[in-house]
Amino acid sequence: MVPSSPPTTGNLFGFAEYLSALALLLVVLGTSDYRYRYRLLLMKYNLRLASVWVVTAIGVGILGIDVWFQNKLPVPIIMANANNLKAILAVIFLAFLIFTLAVALVAPPRFSPRNARRFLDIHYHLIHEGDTQKLLVVIEELQRSIPQIVALASEANEFIDGQQSKGKEAAQIAHAFLLLLGEERFCSLVVNKFPLFALQVLEHAKNKNLAQPMFQFARNIGQRFIQNTESAFYQEDSGYFSGLIGYNRPITKIVYGSYAFIEECATLGESALEVRFEDLQSFSRLQMRGFNRAALAFLIDYLKVTKGCAHPRSYALSRLMGSFETAISTTYQLDGLEAYFEHAAFSRLQVTVDFIGKALDLMSKHAAQPRSFRTAGQGDLRDIYDELADLIMKVIFEASAVSSPEWSAWWVQHNTVLSQLFGFEANSASRIVAFRVRRLLYAEIKSMDRFAHFENARYLGFCLLTLGLAPINRRSGTYRKFFPIQALAATWVKKNFARLWVEQPKVARACLMGTISYDSMKLRLVKTYSSDTKKEPDQAFLYVDPADAPTIKRNWFHLWRSKRC
């Protein structure tokens, strides 16, 4: 031990200089971009708490050295030089400063087993807080860690009886982190500002066959891409207008174009194609067209993988058809309107018919031919042809709700539905589906023998309005294959309409649509054709039997053939 003495030369690292440097550092960190503070939060250890202890220790050390040496208290001879001791503290302070700058600027931390727990905790609070400005930074920074998170999450064991089985802690944390990404506000921000992040997450998840923790994220991302008409998804509508992005369509292909991933998400919960029914019923034309494009992207891959066969059953396909049925369920709002063309309900009906037409084209290229043209019976497995036939029946039912005014009913039921779907049977798929639709229409009309109600009455009214009262030429013409349906409808009306008019007048009126009316005095249905060139419009008549006429059980076809003149 030797007596200590103050340094004879300049002070190397005084307390005043230290306080000035520390104050400057705090000001820089406090006013800097949140990105750097966010990066420092992700270290394995709490860097804020560590910095408090390091800064306090260095400050106490510098102050202690000055006091000790100014009072010439004894020190070991190896520590007799005050500047050397201060130099050690200066090196520690400089190393801490360089480490902090390196983490904040050069090598930001990524998700790893070492910092997994802290990574999850920090992001849990940030996403739950929902601060938009902070989350913008979080989304951009997370892109570096997504490959590691998905890779680790794929190693997590599955859930058994509601309890997570034992596995690596980091894998379980990664699994929970992917669940955290499904928060709705976070997904909305991703769609609005960073669509590339969504594509990166879903692409890595598909490569790892990881749908268990991802279906919430996929569902929310898919819904918001369709709902937000300002999103990047709507820039992929046309390559003519959007260039390379419009031709490549990355969002359409990655988010909606994978049958395997969407089907697995649908089996676990919900997929990217599932939109809330209240949103579907209020979709605009543009939103409906976006939903149509997403549905066709899924359908292409579905047909390539399954060939449209009945087995295995596709939950995603069934729900997709249900979504279109929900979208057109507001078609009744067009009833009584003359200015219907710009109505959103009419747009949804048009887009649904367009989807069916394009689906038929895809089925003719990729779907396997069924063994039978007949519809699936009770308990039978249903293939893509049955699903599409049921959707067409729903379209017909909803379109038949528009019964007035005359031109609106004709345009909606005939020009929008019948002529678009069955005007040209250009491929094998359309012929098969048309046959099954005719079988379903036949069953609906025949069911009126047992119990006539508003639903089968609307199907009958659709056939009468669009196919007419006069017999169809069964050998030529656009709708010659609908000859049996038109004959059945005419025969049923001839035998039963007068009785129905007396016993169930409201149901009978539901059968009369557009320009078709009933003359109860002359016992006939009258269809009036509009004409601006003739003094008197043309009319077609279908005479009906009196209400008290005896019922003769004969084959409907021979009955119609014998009475058709």
The one-digit pLDDT tens for each residue of the chain (565 residues) are 666 666 666 566 777 777 777 777 777 667 667 888 888 888 877 777 777 888 888 888 888 877 777 777 787 877 767 777 778 888 888 888 888 878 888 888 899 888 899 899 999 999 999 899 999 999 999 999 999 999 998 887 554 444 454 447 888 899 999 999 999 999 999 999 999 999 999 999 998 888 888 899 999 999 999 999 999 999 988 887 888 888 889 999 999 999 999 999 999 889 999 998 889 999 999 999 999 999 999 999 999 999 988 887 889 999 999 999 999 999 999 999 988 888 999 999 999 999 999 999 999 999 988 877 777 766 677 889 999 999 999 999 999 999 989 999 999 999 999 988 887 667 888 889 988 998 999 999 999 989 999 999 999 999 999 988 888 877 777 778 888 888 889 999 999 999 999 999 999 999 999 989 999 899 999 998 876 666 777 888 999 999 776 554 444 444 444 444 3
457 assigned to some structural domain:
no
Question: Helix crossing, 428-446 with 384-399: angle to 10°?
Answer: 60
In whole angstroms, give the CA distance from residue 414 to residue 374: 25
- Alpha carbon separation from 343 to 236, 277, 319, 335 (Å, rounded): 25, 19, 25, 11
Domain shared by 338 and 222, yes or no: yes
Question: Which residue, among 290, 283, 282, has the nearest Cα to 251 in the 3D structure?
Answer: 290
Non-local CB neighbours of 52 within 8 Å, separated by 6+ positions = none
Domain shared by 371 and 516, yes or no: no
Cβ distance 477 to 525 under 8 Å?
no
Prediction pTM value? 0.83
In whole angstroms, give the CA distance from residue 28 to residue 230: 37
Strand pairing class (163-164; 516-519): unpaired
Other beta carbons within 10 Å of 113: 15
405 preceded by cis ω (within 30°)?
Answer: yes
pLDDT of residue 224: 94
Q: Reduce the DSSP state of residue 275 to 3 states and report it.
A: coil
Domain shared by 72 and 189, yes or no: no
Domain shared by 140 and 196, yes or no: yes
Range of the domain at 328: 116-156+165-449
In whole angstroms, give the CA distance from residue 523 to residue 248: 62
Domain shared by 43 and 144, yes or no: no
Domain shared by 76 and 219, yes or no: no
Q: Residue 380 class from Cβ within 10 Å (0-12 exposed, 13-18 middle, 19+ buried)?
A: exposed
Domain boundary pick from 449, 469, 492:
449
Domain shared by 408 and 487, yes or no: no
What six digits make up the tokens of 493? 């009306």
In whole angstroms, give the CA distance from residue 263 to residue 315: 7
Sheet holding 524-528, edge to edge: 516-519, 524-528, 539-543
Domain shared by 101 and 121, yes or no: no
475 assigned to some structural domain:
no
Domain shared by 261 and 291, yes or no: yes
470 assigned to some structural domain:
no
pLDDT of residue 127: 93
What six digits make up the tokens of 399? 């379109």
40 assigned to some structural domain:
yes
Domain shared by 222 and 97, yes or no: no
320 assigned to some structural domain:
yes
Question: Helix crossing, 195-207 with 146-153: angle to 10°?
Answer: 30
Number of domains in the chain: 3
Domain shared by 172 and 78, yes or no: no
97 assigned to some structural domain:
yes
Tally of residues, the chain: 565
Domain shared by 355 and 443, yes or no: yes
Question: Which residue, among 200, 205, 59, 44, has the nearest Cα to 121 in the 3D structure?
Answer: 44
Q: Which amino acid is at 7?
A: P
DSSP type of residue 284: -
462 assigned to some structural domain:
no
138 assigned to some structural domain:
yes
Other beta carbons within 10 Å of 165: 11
Domain boundary pick from 405, 431, 449:
449
Q: Reduce the DSSP state of residue 504 to 3 states and report it.
A: coil
